[in-house]
Every structure is written in structure tokens, then in C-alpha cells.
Structure 1
Amino acid sequence: MLVMEVLTLIIQQRVRASKTFRYYKHCEEMQLINVCFADDLFNFARGEVESARLIMKSLSEFQRTSGLVPSIPKSTAYFYNVRNHVKHSIRSFMPFVEVKNHIGEGENESLSFAGRLQLCKSVLSSMHVYWALVLMIPIGIIQDFQQHMCGFLWSNGELKHGKAKVAWENICLSKSEGSLGIHSLEDVPIKSDFGSWGWLKLLQIRDLVKPFF
């Protein structure tokens, strides 16, 4: 974690010198760009070419300084509400795989409906719950992820018109109500007693630690 503070300083220095970098809208007030959890690193920026380029240049400088190399196969990029031509430009210099491309591709193409249902319940939903423990996930991202889950379940990819047999809110009812038993992702951060607990605790003490940064 101490080593990753070097990356934070590199990014902050580049941001101060930049006239084009823009924070992700939910991070601007706190000027939040990167967050570390154990072996995981999250970088946030507005979905614009120059902002993404600054992140990549910071990672390259950190690599030269520390000798640490990011694992490309284990690294992913998530785009939300970014125009296709902008996304294409960013991906021309960002080597990370786009997250949603893991759904409905490769070995998942041959899965039956029952297999896709089980994957939604045991893997995709669990991934969201895991990150909700430490992050306050914006409702827009949750809804976007649910849309991809719906498309994967009914169409094994992007949701096609007329393919969904049942409304998503009905799918998320309990099995006792005759539904498929998939949990609504929107209910997790709202109703769970432990959702985003760690992150909320950090927010509560931010005024105490802010003078030390």
C-alpha cells in the first residue's frame, strides 16, 4: 500500500499540471482518481481521451519508477455512457479488456438457458455484491450491469427485441413467488446492512484524516 502512494502522487502531480483532465462526475468533489484495496487498484476518470491518456501515462511513469508492471490479462476497463468513437480512441492506447465483453462470448456461447441462469445467480450477482462491500456503486452502473445480465440470460449477449420472456423485476422475485430467484442488484446497496460498510466508515472519518494529505 505504501508503494501505491507513489502512484497517487504521480497522478496528482500530472493532474495539477494538466488543463484537460476531468474527474469522473461522482469523484470531482473529493478529487478522487484512484483507490487501492489489497491487490486491487481502481482508477476513475471522465470518459474522455485526454483524461484516460493521463491515467495511462501515470501508470507508465509508475512502472519506470517502481519496476512494477501491471498484469494486462487481469486488468479491465469499464466504460459508462461513453460515445463509441471516443471509446475507440481510448482503447487505441489502453490495452485493457472491456469488462462487458466477458459476458456472452467465448466458452459461454454454448451454455443452455439453465446454465446461463446459474451463472447469473452464482457468479455475476456475486461479483456485484463483492464490490458493493467496499464501493458506493452509482445506480447508473448498477442498471447498466443489470441490462447486460438480462441480455446474457435471454439472448446470450446483447438483449434483442422480443427475446425477454419476463420483465426483469418479475425475474428478481423470490422462488416462493414463482420466479427464477435472481436478486435485484439495486436492492443490495440499499437494503443490505453490510453493503459499502467499509467505504461508508472511511467517509465518516474523512474530515479527521484530510489534514494529513
Structure 2
Amino acid sequence: MRELAMGFFDSLFLSEEPTRIDEALKGVGPCVTTDMNAELTNTFTREESAFIPGRLIADNAILAFESFHFLKHTMQLLSREVERRCLYGVRVCREAPSISHLFFADDSLILCRADRKNAETIKGVLDLYQDASGQRLNMQKSELFFSPSTGVIEQNEVTQILAANVVSSPGKYLSIPAVVGRNKTMTFNHLKERIWKKFKGWKEKLLSYSGREILIKAIAQSIPTYHLGLFKFPSTLCSSIEGDLARFWWGYSGEKRQIYWVAWEKMCWSKQEGGLGYRDFESFNLAMLVKQL
């Protein structure tokens, strides 16, 4: 067990002695000024000491941690290569700005042209980062994704330089597909399937209408909320999801559905107007998208 545990963590965290630090910090503005450095190097007074009842010893290091965090996230190695025209990002349209990289909480996405020049530039930046920080990249967990228009020769050339795995789909991030094509109905159909899977786990025959109302409002309608705030859903997909909600509300037996005594549109009215206050998904989608303006 000890060897298995050590082997697992060794594959997760790879590091070595840092080098080339000065080269990596070229062009990066100083974050700690002379006055800040003087304050940081001063001797702690009794009031600032960590050895006071009710105070953590880590409280004195907050400023240093914040400074290091700021330094880490202002490493403009990729931006510097873009300014030198050694790295070309992608544009969603002609007038849009070029995007070369996106950094998330625990993931990094680098966007570039599929050619030797861009691949060698990225390779150089990654090598410089590894040498300066002492951290090693795990290329087994790194992936390459090419657009359908990229030729086989270009793909092989870039893959040979970066030595990463090639995937046909970039997968998902925060349950959202990294690439959303024109057919959004197919892209987000998994949400409809997820809602219906929830319905199959509930026995509507054993639930009162009040119980069904709570389940629909609290669980089923909340599943696609995050996605509705980012993308404009097709009307057909919204209608299909609402159809599944109505099917659960009125009851179903296998593929046979019950009679719908009231239209779903009227059930979306507020209770003061005689409805049940369900969401109109298309209207809710537009309301969520307005927040982006």
C-alpha cells in the first residue's frame, strides 16, 4: 500500500530545482515596492505577534501570500509572445479581440494556430515556466484538440512538438461543453435526459400534486439554470423540456400519457392569475441572458 500511495502522488506532483527565474520575470512589473518591502522586513511588534491568544500563526503571512498570489497570476509569458507576433490566438469574428489563453481555477486553455511556429513558441513558454518555477507539467493529463479544418500533416507536426494526447472532443468544464456548435439541441440534450432520469426515480403515483409541484420547482427546473444563463436555448429544446415537466405533472404510464386538462402556458402564470407559477423556459432563458449586458 505504501508503494502504491507513493506512486500515485509522485505522478500527480512533479517538481525540481527552479532555474531561469530572471528570464521568466523579464517584462513583468514589480508587485512589491520598496516601501512594501521595508514594511515586510520590519521586526514584528508584540501586537503583530502570532503568539497571542485567539490569533493564528498564519495571520502574519497573509500579506506575503497575497503578494505571491498576485505575482503568480501576472506572469505574462504568453502575452509577451503574442506581442512579439510569435503566438497567434483565435478570434470568434474579424472585429473580436484575439484570445491566446484562458486560465481557470485548476485548468489552463491555450489557443493558437496549428503550425510549427506556434507549437514551438508554446513549448518554449512551458519549458521556461517549468525551469523557473520548479514545477513539472504532466503531459499525460494534457490534451490537444484540433479544428476539423486542420490537416493531418499539421496535426502530426504539432503533436510531435508538444507531445500531448490528441482528443476528438475537448470535454466539459463545470458540466458545460468546452465547444458548443451550431446544433445546440444536440449539445444540451443531456440536460433533458438528466431531468427525465430524475422523473423516472420519482413515483408520481405516490405523490400528491403539491409534492409534484415542489419537486418540479425545486429540482427539475433548477437543473438547467446555469446553462440558461450562458447560452440561448433553441425554442424546440425549451418546449421539449416543458413537455417532460407536463408529462410528469399529469402522470404517465410507460409511453402512454394522461390527458392534459390545462395548457402548460397557463400553468406558467402566477398563482394570483390562476396558474401554478412554473417557469416559461424560453422567457427565463432571455431573462438570464440579459444579466450579461
When normalised by structure 2's length, the TM-score is: 0.37
Higher helix residue share? 1
Larger radius of gyration: 2
Which TM-score applies when normalising by structure 1? Answer: 0.49
